[in-house]
Structure 1
Amino acid sequence: MADELELLRRVNPVPVDDPRFAEGPLGHEAENRLNHLLTGAGTETGVSGGDERRPGRTRTRLVWALAATVVVAVTATGLLLAGPNTTPAVAAPRPLVVRADSTPVPLDRLVARAERAERDAADGPAGLRKGTHVQSWSVGMSEDEPPVTLPVERVVRWNADDSHTELVVATDPRHPGRRVLTDADDGPRLVDDGHVISEQTFPPSWSDAPPQSPPPHDATRLRAYLREAQHLDTPPTTGELLDATAVLLDTWTLGARENAALTRLLADAKGLRPVGQVTDRLGRLGQAYVYDGAGYRRMLIMDPADGAVLGLEATAAVDEDAYGVEAGDVMDYSAWIR
């Protein structure tokens, strides 16, 4: 039974630390409703007038809700315990939530902070380094199977001879130590936390085209660099600029000068608006900036101290019935580690 309970905990879509379900006193309205359900006394009058709602009907709805919860839990457990040809069910991460009590910080203010960090680093090492360390989540979709979330951590290190190594492991920082879903090789299956998906060494690369060539550290040249990296015939739109930013950070760890140039470039992007403070999936505080377009909402998370990009999240803006995706579902997320 202990094994079955652990499996149920893993497929539970509500994490144990969800602040909305923390212990505490019930509100006045919630307490009244609980008393009503427990006692079964009295009637409620609908807002349209003489429409009575009997407590028996309320209890019936509650029973159906509890039954539905049991069905979901049993179904999820069955998927996890099924044979190798069955796709395991894993709850996708919840979208990042902006703190209601936070004040949005305009991107122009982050530009000033990034430029100050650039000046402070002027006498030190440039800080630009080829290679990346990133944790990411992405949704694998199929018309035949439910969507699954694939969390991985990737470390890329370049050597002096322009060869490089890439290590990819399955891990989810939201649930350290728990098993992780992977879609490598033989299809979706659960593996141990830290399971090595791939470890490869690549020969020297002689390409000098973006994003393999070092990024410039002024905004105008960086825009042209990102346009070339994405093979665009026209200047990048805001959505394309965010895509190009992800490509850049998947290749390079930026120094203070390059980071300041990228912050200036993002500040000029149209439709990228500040929304407030968030805590990213690695527990870091950041300022969030949102862009809506092409059926997705993109959230850019930036370090409030120096404007460095911490993460990028994309959520679905519309339902995709063919793939079992609903509006608000997280489609992909990257968190870059410096």
Structure 2
Amino acid sequence: MADELDLLRAANPALPDGPHYGDGPLDHHAERQLDRLLRNRAPWRRRMAWSLAAVVVVAATVAGLLFSGSTTTPAVAAPLPLVVRADSTPVGLAELAERARAAAADGAPALRKGTHVQSWSMGMSDDKPPITLPEERIVRWKADASRTELVVATDPRHPGRPVLTDEGGAPRTVEDGHVLSDLTYPPSWSDAPPEARPPADVAGLRAYLQETAYSHTALSTPELLDAVQELLNHWTLGAAESAALAQLLADADGLRPVGQVTDRLGRSGQASVSMGSDTRRMLIMDSATGAVLGLETTFTKSEPRYGVKAGDVMEYSTWMR
């Protein structure tokens, strides 16, 4: 419970020295913290409270998928880590930043608020095997500052196959393309990142991402990658913003180019890796334009308590226009 309590305390909009039970509107910081709490996927911190009935359903479902045929890939299987092509030559981040600047010369494509993201996240509990939850989310903003958000359960690795979801708190399978939510939100304006328009210059974007991460100091590379993920979950970057981001990533310490990969949507990109104490982050960028295509986090150490092995994918996001 410590992690959840820490998140709740951080999201508490009441100031320590402010009036209790105030009825006034939340400030920008409180709005962003609450939004971050509601959207926080932090799958490695999740503790699923599975009922006995849910466990029986999942066990039967998994067994059926695993033993339905020796040549059938189970739909609940975790994605394998992306593999770097052995015959590829790594392209440095500085070179990718130069290509991004060249691609931005004509100003197209333009920045657009909203996102189209495919994600896989690992759900874990203390006493049950981990499960992988694939989702696709499309957010579109309208001229009046209202927005729509469509979330479906789908996994492009297994078109048409059942998809595992924890919708409603109980793991179960649904049909591919099952709508998890289809919501329309009223007009909303904010002048704070990540809702505010991101700048197209390196210094401005660095400050923007620092504010996105609620940090008063320079971001470490892992913190920078987290902030980039938050940015791309709100905005579809234009060529100019992608060029600024590519340069910012080129200036970061600890990102090592490793070569070419094919992402989970079949796109070719250049991968760079950042190593942590127990995870590896792989950033995938378009070889021609320097745009960020995806971000993968894998475990580098086993966690027997949660049934996690070194090399398992913790989470993966891939962004589309």
- Taking the aligned partners of 2:104 and 2:122, their CA distance within structure 1 comes to 36
Q: What are the Cα deviations for residues 193-234 of structure 1, in whole angstroms up to 9, with x where unaligned? A: 000001111111121100001000111110110010111121
- Taking the aligned partners of 1:323 and 1:89, their CA distance within structure 2 comes to 20
Alignment of 1:165 with 2:151, yes or no, is: no
| Kept in 2: contact 1:169–1:195 (CA 8 A) | yes
- Taking the aligned partners of 2:63 and 2:114, their CA distance within structure 1 comes to 39
| Kept in 2: contact 1:152–1:169 (CA 8 A) | yes
Question: Partner of 1:96: helix, strand, or coil?
Answer: coil
Q: Which residues of 2 match residues 240-259 of structure 1 at below 5 A?
A: 240-259=223-242
Q: Which amino acid aligns with 1:115?
A: R
| Kept in 1: contact 2:75–2:162 (CA 8 A) | no
Name the % identity: 67
**Pick from 94, 108, 113: which aligns with 2:94?**
108
Cα distance, 1:188–1:74 mapped onto 2, change above 3 Å: closer
- Taking the aligned partners of 1:126 and 1:76, their CA distance within structure 2 comes to 43
Question: Partner of 2:79: helix, strand, or coil?
Answer: coil
In structure 1, the residue matched to 2:159 is 176
In structure 1, the residue matched to 2:48 is none
- Taking the aligned partners of 1:228 and 1:133, their CA distance within structure 2 comes to 23
Q: Which amino acid aligns with 2:311?
A: G
Question: Partner of 2:63: helix, strand, or coil?
Answer: helix
* TM value normalised by structure 2: 0.77
Residue 75 of structure 1 deviates from its aligned partner by 9.9
Question: Partner of 2:257: helix, strand, or coil?
Answer: strand
In structure 2, the residue matched to 1:324 is 307
- Taking the aligned partners of 1:214 and 1:311, their CA distance within structure 2 comes to 21
Alignment of 1:273 with 2:259, yes or no, is: no
| Kept in 2: contact 1:211–1:248 (CA 8 A) | yes
* TM value normalised by structure 1: 0.73
In structure 2, the residue matched to 1:286 is 269
**Pick from 73, 85, 88: which aligns with 1:99?**
85
**Aligned structure 1 segments of 4 or more residues deviating by more than 2 angstroms:** 73-76, 78-81
Q: What are the Cα deviations for residues 276-307 of structure 1, in whole angstroms up to 9, with x where unaligned? A: 00000000000000000141100000000010
Where relative contact order (Cα < 8 A, 6+ residues apart) is larger, the structure is: 2
| Kept in 2: contact 1:259–1:307 (CA 8 A) | yes
Residue 89 of structure 1 deviates from its aligned partner by 8.6
Question: Partner of 1:185: helix, strand, or coil?
Answer: helix
Question: Partner of 1:287: helix, strand, or coil?
Answer: strand
In structure 2, the residue matched to 1:234 is 217
| Kept in 1: contact 2:75–2:163 (CA 8 A) | no
- Taking the aligned partners of 1:76 and 1:248, their CA distance within structure 2 comes to 35
Residue 321 of structure 1 deviates from its aligned partner by 1.2
Q: Out of 307-316 and 126-135, give the one that drifted further.
A: 126-135
Residue 97 of structure 1 deviates from its aligned partner by 0.3
| Kept in 1: contact 2:75–2:158 (CA 8 A) | no
Q: Which amino acid aligns with 2:120?
A: W
Residue 74 of structure 1 deviates from its aligned partner by 9.8
- Taking the aligned partners of 2:228 and 2:266, their CA distance within structure 1 comes to 22
Q: Which amino acid aligns with 1:182?
A: T
Q: Which amino acid aligns with 1:227?
A: Q
- Taking the aligned partners of 1:119 and 1:106, their CA distance within structure 2 comes to 21
| Kept in 1: contact 2:75–2:161 (CA 8 A) | no
| Kept in 2: contact 1:89–1:148 (CA 8 A) | no
Residue 186 of structure 1 deviates from its aligned partner by 4.1
In structure 1, the residue matched to 2:24 is none
- Taking the aligned partners of 1:332 and 1:200, their CA distance within structure 2 comes to 24
In structure 2, the residue matched to 1:190 is 173
Q: Which residues of 2 match residues 11-26 of structure 1 at below 5 A?
A: none
- Taking the aligned partners of 1:227 and 1:281, their CA distance within structure 2 comes to 29
In structure 1, the residue matched to 2:112 is 129
- Taking the aligned partners of 2:66 and 2:261, their CA distance within structure 1 comes to 32
Residue 161 of structure 1 deviates from its aligned partner by 1.1
Q: Which amino acid aligns with 1:292?
A: M
Question: Partner of 1:169: helix, strand, or coil?
Answer: strand
In structure 1, the residue matched to 2:63 is 77
- Taking the aligned partners of 2:244 and 2:232, their CA distance within structure 1 comes to 13
- Taking the aligned partners of 1:145 and 1:331, their CA distance within structure 2 comes to 16
- Taking the aligned partners of 2:169 and 2:245, their CA distance within structure 1 comes to 39
Q: Which amino acid aligns with 1:278?
A: V
In structure 2, the residue matched to 1:218 is 201
| Kept in 2: contact 1:288–1:301 (CA 8 A) | yes
| Kept in 2: contact 1:134–1:154 (CA 8 A) | yes
Structure 1's unaligned 5+ residue stretches are 1-72, 82-87
In structure 2, the residue matched to 1:138 is 121
| Kept in 2: contact 1:290–1:297 (CA 8 A) | yes
Cα distance, 1:120–1:326 mapped onto 2, change above 3 Å: same
Question: Partner of 1:92: helix, strand, or coil?
Answer: coil
Q: Which amino acid aligns with 2:201?
A: D
Aligned pair count?
Answer: 257
